[in-house]
Amino acid sequence: MKTHLFLSSTILLSMFFLSGCGKSSNTLSDKSLEQETSAVQVKPSALFSESSTVHSTTITPKLSSEGNTTSEESVKAFFGDKENNKVIIVDIENMEQLYASENYTGHEITYTVANLKIVPKLYVSNRGSNAIDVIDAESMHITKTITLQHFPRSADALNEKLGLVAVSGMNKPMISIIDIYTDQVVAVVGDDIVTAPVDSANGTHACGHPYWLNENHFVLIDRARKRLTTYKICKNEKNEWVTKKLNTICTSTTAHHLVPRENYMGKMDRYYLINEGSDTEYPSVRELVFEEGVGLKRCSKVCLVNKDVSIPQMGAHHGDFVANDTLLYVGSKEGVMFVVDYDTMKVKSMLLAGKGAGHTMMVPERDLAITINHKDKFITLYDTKCSHFIKNIEVSDLPDSEVGKTTIQAHPEYFVSEDAKYFYMFLTEEARFVKVDLDLMEVVDSLYVGGKPAMGTFR
């Protein structure tokens, strides 16, 4: 494969600003919140009120030894095939596809698979149907379907202590809470209406990623109405789940997610929201503080400004914390990686990346960051000790004319071998599973799997 060259490892593209990149009020008024809250029904049970909702459930059993996900067997990749509406399974050690002619869901837009970790199951999100499919991790076959009131966007928010998964809506600003032991929907929050943002830098999803702040609090990101709502969940004296809405705050643009806590070294009550940006407002990182009994409150904000391109060309996606430092990497789709110091809330540097720069996987054993450039032919490697560019590794054989136009590199998850030698990922458009040697810094193996692998997990 040819190596894609860049001229410089670090460039100063613009000045950064701590605030003022968007116009929005700090919080919604109590009156407006009351007006915008609507009742939701947990079908086929009783009506549910957002302020205090009771949902019947069974007693959650204790985790048995079968819930241990560690095994000597080879790790498997489970990815949604959005073209054929099936689940792609790959044995990564042997670079072999398993059950290639099976695991069709019968639903629309089979997009992503989530690993439930503490139980031998995986959840499949069908983004064009009101359905989550359940895969048995041992047989690797679909065993049942969970019906929802909304299309599922993501089921990647697992609460291990309570045994619950939060599933956000693809077409409605809703979250369904599922008991992973019974596969029953035990709570639903949000508004049972079809919505979509009209000025988003990243698609028409009704919700961002679901997120657990702690054991009893979770967040719904409403992208269309640019707001974030904090909920509390607990059980009442009848052993029934009860949800309560604490507060709602505005976001400056559509928001994608709250940055996952892996590698985080800051204050435990602080959280960081990625605002995607719009045609008129720069993307940004918003610092939030969680207050018990109140919810999330807005603190400082740092705008991600690249004056070498117009604002509509930009668009933030995901943020990822660096191990052993107070740094946050945030990619922007024009091809820049912003390195933000979340302790000072300032942009420390701006690094070259590829088109559609999105997710970054940290490899602490190598002081390495691997950035997925979703609409480009290469992944980008950085040295996290000094936030310097190392190399672009070309992973795709598509013609250059496809760069910036289509999703070349799949969405998470990605996988690094236990010895930190190999990196694994899917290519969506080419339907290939790729193995990268991090010593040689090149692709050393690939497997054609067919379809359009979009997003998934490794187990």
The pLDDT, as a whole number, for residue 73 is 66
Strands 453-458, 442-448: pairing is: unpaired
The pLDDT, as a whole number, for residue 46 is 31
The pLDDT, as a whole number, for residue 446 is 98
Mind listing the pLDDT tens digit for each residue in 20-36? 454 443 344 433 333 33
User: Encoding tokens for residue 295?
Assistant: 């919810």
- Whole-angstrom distance, CA of residue 380 vs CA of residue 391: 6
Residue 359 lies in a domain: yes
Residue 296 lies in a domain: yes
Q: How confident is the model at residue 161 (pLDDT cuts 50, 70, 90)?
A: very high
pLDDT surpasses 50 at 58: no
pLDDT surpasses 60 at 81: yes
Residue 294 lies in a domain: yes
pLDDT surpasses 80 at 402: yes
Q: How confident is the model at residue 116 (pLDDT cuts 50, 70, 90)?
A: very high
- Whole-angstrom distance, CA of residue 381 vs CA of residue 354: 11
- Whole-angstrom distance, CA of residue 97 vs CA of residue 447: 8
User: Encoding tokens for residue 331?
Assistant: 């990619």
- Whole-angstrom distance, CA of residue 236 vs CA of residue 446: 52
- Whole-angstrom distance, CA of residue 434 vs CA of residue 426: 6
Mind listing the pLDDT tens digit for each residue in 335-376? 999 999 999 999 999 999 999 999 999 999 999 999 999 999
Mind listing the pLDDT tens digit for each residue in 298-326? 999 999 999 999 999 999 989 999 999 99
Number of domains in the chain: 1
Residue 340 lies in a domain: yes
Share of the chain above pLDDT 90, in %: 82
Residue 324 lies in a domain: yes
The pLDDT, as a whole number, for residue 429 is 98
Print burial letters for 347-382: b (CB count within 10 Å at least 16), e (below 16). bebbbbbbbbbbbbbbbeebbbbbbbbbbbbbbbbb
Q: How confident is the model at residue 198 (pLDDT cuts 50, 70, 90)?
A: confident
The pLDDT, as a whole number, for residue 199 is 78
Residue 33 lies in a domain: no
The pLDDT, as a whole number, for residue 273 is 98
Share of the chain above pLDDT 70, in %: 84
The CATH number that applies at residue 289 is 2.130.10.10
Residue 121 lies in a domain: no
- The structure's pTM equals 0.86
- Domain span at residue 300 reads 1-22+259-409
Print burial letters for 263-291: b (CB count within 10 Å at least 16), e (below 16). bbeeeeeebbbbbbbbeebbbbbbbbebe
pLDDT surpasses 60 at 1: no
pLDDT surpasses 50 at 451: yes
The pLDDT, as a whole number, for residue 282 is 97
Question: Rounded to 5 degrees, what are φ and ψ at 185?
Answer: -75, 120
The pLDDT, as a whole number, for residue 373 is 98
pLDDT surpasses 80 at 387: yes
Residue 161 lies in a domain: no
* Average pLDDT estimate for 234-239: 96
- Whole-angstrom distance, CA of residue 44 vs CA of residue 35: 26
